[in-house]
């Protein structure tokens, strides 16, 4: 197994668009030929589009793009711009009088960062899609859907740190698997190998982490716990392995193990944690091994997202916090 660039996974194009002053953005993953798609929604406060279409029993097999966006429910407008871009290239489901691009997606809450009146919209979705077709380098950190992402809000925004978007991709033989994740969780992000908190609820004056999971347990009987819905981590697993639609749904479900290993707590009532799976290829693969790789790349993408983030909007980020700790 070797690390690869996520843009090298066959059958996919990826692009970002963002409004830095507004503190929000979107990310688009395109499959021109159509990819078998699946999804798993584990959080209690999801915001999604076309996820019912991806249920194993429903008709449409292939999807043409997935978007990840900030802006809370307003960010679902991104889909219209992605569809416009794809329709202009005659990409979509053939309905005899034209082609309808199938574009599922999910949103996260970032309205308290930057300007709440600036949100991802149709134009931003169009620009992200067009950027994907330019085959530009695919950045991490404070870009796309990660522009306004934050983490560690279990005790309020005053303790939050900067989240972001990250990716990881690997190749084993002919099989390629990658993940793109925008990290905007209620709890902390930890390194599962060292158990070290990388980003989360952070007491700035004392330069220490508050450990959200233990803190929530300690105040279990309190009725003043801050349980606002300003969170959600969203992402997609990409592979050139051959999958059916039901198998893609199952891979998406298993890939959430990557969230559970890196976010404490994960899948809460106030997170809308959602993962898509897209299969573009015809490479045969053992499903159990593929499931393990999906979990691994999601885990690595989460860690990369917070490590790539930069301090902005009054939110400290991993590079600065750990620089302070080492001084």
What was the pLDDT predicted at 231? 84
Say what percent of the chain tops pLDDT 90.
78
Q: For 90-110, what is each residue's pLDDT tens digit?
A: 999 988 898 999 999 999 999
Q: For 290-303, what is each residue's pLDDT tens digit?
A: 999 999 999 999 99
Helix (H) or strand (E) holding 87: helix 78-87
Bridge-based pairing of strands 197-199 and 93-94 is: unpaired
What was the pLDDT predicted at 209? 85
> Comparing 165-179, 234-248, 261-275, which segment has the lowest mean pLDDT?
261-275
Are 216 and 48 in contact by the 8 Å Cβ rule? The answer is no
3-class SS of residue 10:
coil
What was the pLDDT predicted at 223? 57
CATH number of 90's domain: 3.60.70.12
Bridge-based pairing of strands 164-172 and 208-209 is: unpaired
Q: Is the pLDDT of residue 25 over 80?
A: yes
What was the pLDDT predicted at 220? 63
What was the pLDDT predicted at 164? 98
Q: For 136-159, what is each residue's pLDDT tens digit?
A: 889 999 999 999 999 999 888 899
What was the pLDDT predicted at 228? 55
What was the pLDDT predicted at 326? 59
Q: For 246-260, what is each residue's pLDDT tens digit?
A: 999 999 999 999 999
CA 318 – CA 79 distance, rounded (Å): 32
What was the pLDDT predicted at 104? 98
Helix (H) or strand (E) holding 168: strand 164-172
Please report which confidence band the pLDDT of residue 38 belongs to, taking 50, 70 and 90 as the band edges. Answer: very high
Q: Is the pLDDT of residue 270 over 90?
A: no
Q: For 51-82, what is each residue's pLDDT tens digit?
A: 999 999 998 889 999 999 999 999 999 999 99
Q: Is the pLDDT of residue 44 over 90?
A: no
279 phi and psi angles, rounded to 5 deg: -115, 120
What was the pLDDT predicted at 29? 98
Q: For 197-248, what is each residue's pLDDT tens digit?
A: 999 988 988 888 888 777 777 666 665 555 555 689 999 999 999 999 999 9
CA distances from 169 to 61, 144, 166, 220, 298 (A): 24, 18, 11, 39, 9
Q: Is the pLDDT of residue 325 over 70?
A: no
Q: Which domain holds residue 305?
A: 2-326
User: Into how many domains does the chain fold?
Assistant: 1
CA 321 – CA 36 distance, rounded (Å): 41
């Amino acid at each position: 197994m070797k690390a690869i660039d996520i843009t090298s996974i066959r059958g996919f194009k990826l692009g970002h668009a963002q409004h830095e002053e507004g503190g929000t953005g979107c990310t688009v993953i395109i499959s021109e030929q159509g990819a078998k798609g699946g999804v798993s929604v584990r959080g209690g406060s999801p915001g999604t589009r076309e996820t019912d279409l991806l249920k194993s029993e429903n008709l449409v097999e292939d999807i043409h793009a997935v978007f990840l966006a900030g802006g809370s429910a307003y960010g679902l407008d991104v889909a219209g711009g992605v569809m416009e871009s794809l329709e202009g290239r005659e990409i979509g489901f053939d309905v005899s009088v034209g082609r309808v691009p199938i574009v599922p997606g999910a949103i996260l809450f970032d309205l308290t960062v930057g300007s709440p009146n600036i949100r991802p919209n149709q134009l931003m979705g169009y620009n992200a899609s067009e950027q994907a077709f330019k085959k530009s380098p695919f950045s991490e950190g404070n870009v796309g859907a990660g522009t306004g992402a934050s983490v560690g809000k279990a005790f309020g925004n005053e303790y939050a740190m900067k989240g972001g978007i990250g990716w990881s991709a690997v190749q084993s033989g002919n099989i390629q698997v990658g993940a793109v994740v925008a990290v905007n969780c209620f709890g902390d992000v930890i390194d599962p190998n060292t158990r070290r908190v990388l980003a989360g609820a952070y007491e700035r004056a004392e330069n220490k982490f508050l450990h959200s999971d233990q803190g929530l347990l300690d105040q279990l009987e309190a009725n003043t716990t801050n349980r606002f819905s300003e969170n959600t981590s969203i992402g997609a697993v990409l592979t050139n392995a051959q999958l059916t639609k039901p198998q893609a749904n199952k891979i998406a479900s298993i890939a959430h193990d990557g969230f559970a290993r890196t976010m404490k707590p994960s899948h809460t009532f106030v997170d809308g944690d959602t993962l898509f799976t897209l299969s573009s290829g015809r490479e045969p693969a053992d499903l159990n091994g593929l499931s393990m790789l999906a979990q691994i790349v999601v885990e690595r993408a989460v860690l990369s997202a917070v490590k790539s983030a930069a301090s902005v909007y009054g939110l400290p980020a991993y590079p600065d916090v750990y620089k302070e700790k080492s001084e």
